[in-house]
Each structure stands twice: as C-alpha cells, then as structure tokens.
Amino acid sequence: MNLFDLNGKVVLITGSGGGIGLEIGLGLAKSGAHVLLNGRNKEKLESALQKFETQALQASIQPFDVTKPEEISKAVESIIDQYGKIDVLINNAGIQRRHPLTEFPDAEWDEVLNINLKGAFLVAKKTVPFMIKNGGGKIINICSLQSELGRPTIAPYAAAKGGLKMLTRAMTVEWASHNIQVNAIGPGYFITEMTRKLADDPEFDQWIKSRTPANRWGMPEELVGTAVYLASAASDYVNGQIIYVDGGILASM
C-alpha cells in the first residue's frame, strides 16, 4: 500500500471549489496529501475547505484565475514560499457553454477554450520549473469523453478537451525526462453541478443509462481511486495516458 501513500505530498487542484475537483481533493487528502483548493470565488473555496476541516484533513485555499498569468505566478510563488514544493498539479478547472455551432458567440467560445485548455497550459508552465528543481512531479489533466466524441451544441468544449488530450501527450514528450509523469483522467457522465440539469431531464437520463454498459451515471467520488493512482508512486512509469472512467460507454460506441 506504500505505493499509494501520499503523505507529505502537496497537491494543487484547479477548479476545486466543488464538483469533481472537490471530491478528488477530499480523496487525495484522505490518502495523506495536503490539498490546495483553487478557484476564482474565495467564499466558495472557504466553504469547501470546511469539508476538509471537519474531517481533520490537510487543506488550504489558493484563489486565482487560471486564465491570468500574473495571478498564477503570484499563487505558485506563494505556494513554494510556504510549502517548498508542488508535488502534484491537477488541471481540473473547466466550464461549459451550449449553443449550436453556427450561433456560438465568439466571446463564449474564447471563454471555454481559455479556461478548459489554455488554463491547463498556463498553470503547468508556471509550476513545472519548480517540479524540475524538486526532482520530479505529477500532472493530471482532467479530460472528458469529449476528448474522443462530439456532441451537439458543445463544440468548443469538445475542441478544448480534445486539445487537452494532445496537450497531455505534448507535456509528456517534453517533461518525462525530468521525472514528471503527465497523464489524464477522462470522466464519462458524472452527476455534478454542471450536469445536474441533464441528469434531471428524464429523456436525457434514460439515454445516458441506455448507452452506458454500467446502466447508470457516475458519482464524483468514483474518480478518486484513479486520481490517487496517478498522483502516487504506483504510476511512476506511466506517461502520456488518458484513463477513461466512464462505465464502459466508450467501449460501446
């Protein structure tokens, strides 16, 4: 079990004030990590932090916008000053916007690409030099089924998540020689704040269940095991992989 021990590890998770990021953070903290919660809304982060404190888990907050390099630099430098390192970076920050492709507002297209794809690049760019100085690290990008599949009305999301898959591989090619393992998790249909309306739609709910061999939606806590694996010594020779946690839906497409 020492392979999965995260005691003493410092983990930064972007977009972790709720949903998948928060659940992964709780899971990593239970494995011994000190989790740094990130988002733009400080009040939301402080509320999330209470969930760690009530369970005597190690965590703190780091509010910053993943699309603003100056904010990222200040936050990363603050983390290094306080903790001396960042062992694991999880690029989870993401948003969704829905419109037919021919009607997609340019500003919303840019917003989705900037947060879901460019944000991962910007945060990793600022973090990796410190990982190299520390002798290595782990980067986990949160991809999606839409890294492989298209769906109507979410073209920029699919473009961003497809790009994140390839960014994961590009990061691997450049950083694996520095003992940095870069991998990704591709969640299937999970019930989160972002998907709650879809899950509450009886027609869509039935469509998801009928297409997913597991015949149900995933729950965010079911991503924890994969995240612990990719954040721990158990995955020290795993590079450039996307692990889909999807109830089998990709296998049935």
Which residues are tagged catalytic? 157
Dist. CA 93–CA 141, nearest whole Å: 9
Fill in the amino acid letter for 173.
Answer: V
DSSP reduced 3-state for 205: helix
Contact 163, 120 (CB under 8 A): no
Q: Give dist(CA 112, CA 154) in Å, integer.
A: 10
Tell me how far apart the alpha carbons of residues 187 and 174 are, in angstroms, rounded to a whole number. 25
| Token digits of residue 88 | 């694991």
Pure H helices in 31-154: 42-53, 69-83, 106-113, 119-133
- Residue 129 neighbours by CB under 8 Å, 6+ apart: none
Burial class (CB in 10 A: 0-12, 13-18, 19+), 241: middle
Q: Check if the beta carbon of residue 225 is closer than 8 Å to that of residue 196.
A: no
Q: 124, 248, 107, 95: which is closest to 186 by C-alpha?
A: 248
